[in-house]
């Protein structure tokens, strides 16, 4: 690829593609996880929460979730898809879960059970509320390590179906 126009076209196609962005996000997350395992002073859980932008919000906003709206959570392989705990209003489809997860991330409705930097020590709680400061009507939680598995499985599903 020595032609500048071809280089520009390739750069735009990959950098602006939501699935490519998600893949790069997973790569960065793996790097942070490995650094944490080697004793580096990094915040794995913080990076996991930040990664939700590239793993959930961008693909959702690019309308990549239409095909999963009816995919039942109960039909997903349990070894590849962790179980969420629903405290308010159960999501029975992957599309509904991703919709609420996207809202929680985009509107800062995410909490952590601990300040630990290790994902294995933290549970992540996400909430969705009505617009304009309305009451919370949906809440779910998941261990941070399971959130990492969920994100990896979600991106793989998106790649398999539309990538």
pLDDT tens by residue, 72-87: 899 988 888 999 999 9
Whether pLDDT at 10 is above 50: no
How much is the pLDDT for 67? 64
Q: Which of 51, 66, 56, 54 is nearest to 16 (CA)?
A: 54
Please enumerate in sequence order all residues whose Cβ is within 8 A of that of 136, keeping only pairs 6 or more positions apart, or say none: 88, 109, 127, 128, 129
Average pLDDT, the chain: 79
Q: Which of 95, 123, 94, 93 is nearest to 111 (CA)?
A: 123
Whether pLDDT at 101 is above 60: yes
Ranges of beta strands (E only) in 25-144 are 85-88, 110-112, 123-129, 136-143
Q: Whole-angstrom Cα distance, residue 117 to residue 41?
A: 9
How much is the pLDDT for 78? 84
Q: Whole-angstrom Cα distance, residue 3 to residue 6?
A: 5
Q: Please state the rounded mean pLDDT for residues 37-44.
A: 85
Please state the length of the chain: 163
């Amino acid at each position: 690829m020595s032609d500048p126009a071809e280089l520009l076209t390739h750069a735009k196609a990959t950098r602006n593609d939501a699935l490519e962005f998600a893949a790069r996000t997973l790569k960065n997350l793996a790097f942070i996880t490995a650094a944490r395992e080697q004793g580096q002073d990094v915040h794995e859980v913080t990076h996991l929460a930040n990664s939700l932008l590239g793993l959930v919000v961008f693909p959702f906003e690019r309308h990549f979730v239409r095909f999963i709206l009816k995919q039942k959570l109960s039909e997903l392989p349990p070894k590849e898809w962790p179980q969420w705990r629903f405290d308010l209003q159960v999501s029975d489809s992957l599309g509904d879960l991703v919709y609420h997860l996207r809202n929680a991330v985009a509107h800062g409705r995410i909490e952590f059970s601990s300040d630990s930097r290790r994902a294995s020590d933290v549970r992540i709680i996400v909430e969705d509320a009505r617009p304009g400061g309305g009451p919370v009507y949906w809440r779910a939680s998941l261990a941070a390590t399971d959130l990492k598995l969920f994100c990896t499985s979600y991106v793989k599903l998106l790649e398999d179906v539309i990538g």
